[in-house]
Amino acid sequence: MSDEGPSPLLPEPTPLQRHQRYDAWSPSLSIARLNAIHQETPFLVCDLDTIGRRYEELTGLLPGLAVFFAMKSNSAAPILRTIRSLGGSFEIASVAELRMAEAAGAAAADLLYSNPVKPPAHIAAAAAAGLTRFAFDSEAELRKLAEHAPGASVYARLRVADDTSLFPLSQKFGASVEAAGDLLLLARDLGLVPYGLTFHVGSQCTNAMAWERAVEQCAVVMRRLMRAGVRLEMLNLGGGLPARYTTPVPGVSLIAAVIGAALDRLPYRPPVLAAEPGRYLVAESGVLAATVIGIDDRRGDRWVYLDVGGYNGMMEAVQTGGRWHFPLLTSRPDHYRAASGTATVTGPSCDSSDTLFYGAALPTTLGLGDRVYIGTAGAYTSSYASSFNGFPPPTLLYVGAGPARLLPLPGGHRSDRSVAVAV
Ligand SMILES: Cc1ncc(COP(=O)(O)O)c(C=O)c1O
């Protein structure tokens, strides 16, 4: 998720605060239910109903919002079909994502291609498929779009403050307010349609005011364009809505209220109000199950080795240097009774940067063969997973009704290694 490493604002919970927050844990994925899943680990089980609840909460708070799920966060087919069945569409980053979105029933014309810098061949293939809306943040990208997707609708990505997010993005992407206005006017001269504005406050953004500031920057560009006779069709709020891990985050109702008030101060309301939530929709739906494959005492520190690590599912733990914590449960029958001790939790590969958590609180009774359940693991896990060192990505499982008619048959294996389970 990150292009710049973790934010300096990374919270530093005390060991006892860590892993103690289970308010985001789906009741459908209790320890007993997880223990009953007889599937080799690692597996990632997602509760499709959680996704439905998150989707409805967001669209209820911002009426008229068009949701374009950032499929990079979890592009598994049952997740995409669930979001499609709820009325959502997708934000894509590449032609491969376009094809997955189409396979989930979305028309190319309904997608947003929001990666600001795209390979020319991907632009041409997307345009040929009928996709018409593309992000950009530079003159070079605009010229590329004019050549490979003539007549396309383009939206400028603004560079906004992202210092209150865990994964900032604005070093790599975004045009200044001044440049965005000029570029949207240049788009018109190049035969493109100056369609809208977008921004990204950074992923896992924990300050509602970041959206307010960003919408205010959009207002400045909109006023400038109005003077040049251009009215925009779309304001796209991007991603960044936070999920609950182990430290408190603002609720989406607070963020939506701040956004709503900022929208009221715009010079006009573009007809399309869009957002590209990724983490917010899927993170809390998932639990990643791993097995303890080794335990050792190293220089007075308890090291717990799991069959899942940074490379086969927990890349964001690596990106944050093992300092960002996910809620943890275990398969131990005495999980809630046993004394808790701190541990360094690491992955199965021969690489030490594979380590997930330093100072994690786990039962002192945890032993070889026990499972560790990592909560809030539905986003940026399976989509990042590789088979480095020969350790496989998690098998994908689903619970919840979701769009029931679209689910694979119970127990039936799918080509994307997902299995429907009833627990
Ligand atoms: C263009 C774009 N939109 C949306 C997202 C989703 O962000 P998040 O998962 O923080 O909601 C991303 C993530 O990198 C992105 O690059």
The CATH number of whichever domain residue 84 belongs to comes to 3.20.20.10
Beta bridge partners of 345: 304, 357
The answer to whether residues 239 and 379 belong to one domain is no
Rounded Cα distance between 414 and 405, Å, is: 15
Residue 404 has pLDDT above 50, yes or no: no
Residue 62 is assigned to a structural domain of this protein? yes
CATH assignment at residue 19: 2.40.37.10
- Give the torsion through C-alpha atoms of 71, 74, 79, 84, to 10 deg: -10
- Answer for the pair 332, 338: CB distance below 8 angstroms, yes or no: yes
Candidates 350, 286, 276; CA nearest to 316 is: 286
The answer to whether residues 81 and 31 belong to one domain is no
Residue 298 is assigned to a structural domain of this protein? yes
pLDDT at position 2: 44
Whether residue 408 is preceded by a cis peptide bond, meaning omega within 30 degrees of 0, is no
pLDDT at position 163: 87
Closest ligand 1 atom number to CA of residue 1: 14
- Encode pLDDT of 173-228 as tens digits: 999 999 999 999 999 999 999 999 999 999 999 999 999 999 999 999 999 999 99
Nearest CA to ligand 1 atom 16: 115
Nearest CA to ligand 1 atom 4: 239
The answer to whether residues 269 and 287 belong to one domain is no
- Encode pLDDT of 75-132 as tens digits: 999 999 999 999 999 999 999 999 999 999 999 999 999 999 999 999 999 999 999 9
Nearest CA to ligand 1 atom 5: 239
Nearest CA to ligand 1 atom 1: 114
pLDDT at position 401: 78
Mutate to test the pocket of ligand 1, among 7, 111, 118, 200 (most ligand atoms within 8 A of CB): 200
Residue 416 has pLDDT above 50, yes or no: no
Mutate to test the pocket of ligand 1, among 4, 69, 71, 91 (most ligand atoms within 8 A of CB): 91
Residue 37 is assigned to a structural domain of this protein? yes
Residue 72 is assigned to a structural domain of this protein? yes
The answer to whether residues 86 and 37 belong to one domain is no
The domain total for the chain is: 2
Average pLDDT, the chain: 91
Amino acid at 28: S
Rounded Cα distance between 419 and 406, Å, is: 13
- Last residue of some domain: 234, 254, 282? 282
Closest ligand 1 atom number to CA of residue 280: 11
- Encode pLDDT of 18-40 as tens digits: 445 677 888 899 999 999 999 99
pTM over 0.85: yes
Residues contacting ligand 1 via CB (< 6 Å): 1, 70, 72-73, 91, 114, 200, 203, 238-241, 276-280
Residue 301 pLDDT grade (very low, low, confident, very high; cuts 50, 70, 90) = very high
280 sits in which H/E element: helix 279-282
The answer to whether residues 83 and 58 belong to one domain is yes
Determine the average pLDDT of the residues in 304-311: 97
Residue 324 is assigned to a structural domain of this protein? yes
The answer to whether residues 29 and 107 belong to one domain is no
Determine the average pLDDT of the residues in 295-317: 96
- Encode pLDDT of 328-381 as tens digits: 999 999 988 889 899 999 999 999 899 999 999 999 999 999 999 999 999 999
Residue 171 pLDDT grade (very low, low, confident, very high; cuts 50, 70, 90) = confident
Residue 237 is assigned to a structural domain of this protein? yes
The answer to whether residues 310 and 346 belong to one domain is yes
91 φ/ψ angles, rounded to the nearest 5 degrees: -105, 125
Amino acid at 158: L
User: Between these two residues, 8 and 388, which has the higher pLDDT value?
Assistant: 388
The answer to whether residues 39 and 25 belong to one domain is yes
Q: What string of H, E and C letters represents the secondary structure of 7-34?
A: CCCCCCCCCCCCCCCCCCCCHHHCHHHH
- Last residue of some domain: 251, 282, 313? 282
Residue 1 is assigned to a structural domain of this protein? no
Residue 413 has pLDDT above 50, yes or no: no
The answer to whether residues 106 and 130 belong to one domain is yes
The answer to whether residues 94 and 62 belong to one domain is yes
The answer to whether residues 29 and 60 belong to one domain is no
Determine the average pLDDT of the residues in 240-267: 96
Mutate to test the pocket of ligand 1, among 72, 285, 316 (most ligand atoms within 8 A of CB): 72
Closest ligand 1 atom number to CA of residue 204: 10
pLDDT at position 352: 86
Nearest CA to ligand 1 atom 7: 239
The answer to whether residues 277 and 291 belong to one domain is no
pLDDT at position 169: 87
Residue 405 is assigned to a structural domain of this protein? yes
Residue 420 pLDDT grade (very low, low, confident, very high; cuts 50, 70, 90) = low
pLDDT at position 402: 61
User: Between these two residues, 346 and 410, which has the higher pLDDT value?
Assistant: 346
First to last CA, the chain: 31
Residue 137 has pLDDT above 70, yes or no: yes
Determine the average pLDDT of the residues in 314-322: 92
Candidates 274, 218, 204; CA nearest to 246 is: 204
- Answer for the pair 406, 412: CB distance below 8 angstroms, yes or no: no
- Last residue of some domain: 282, 316, 332? 282
DSSP conformation class of 4? S
Domain that holds residue 240: 49-282
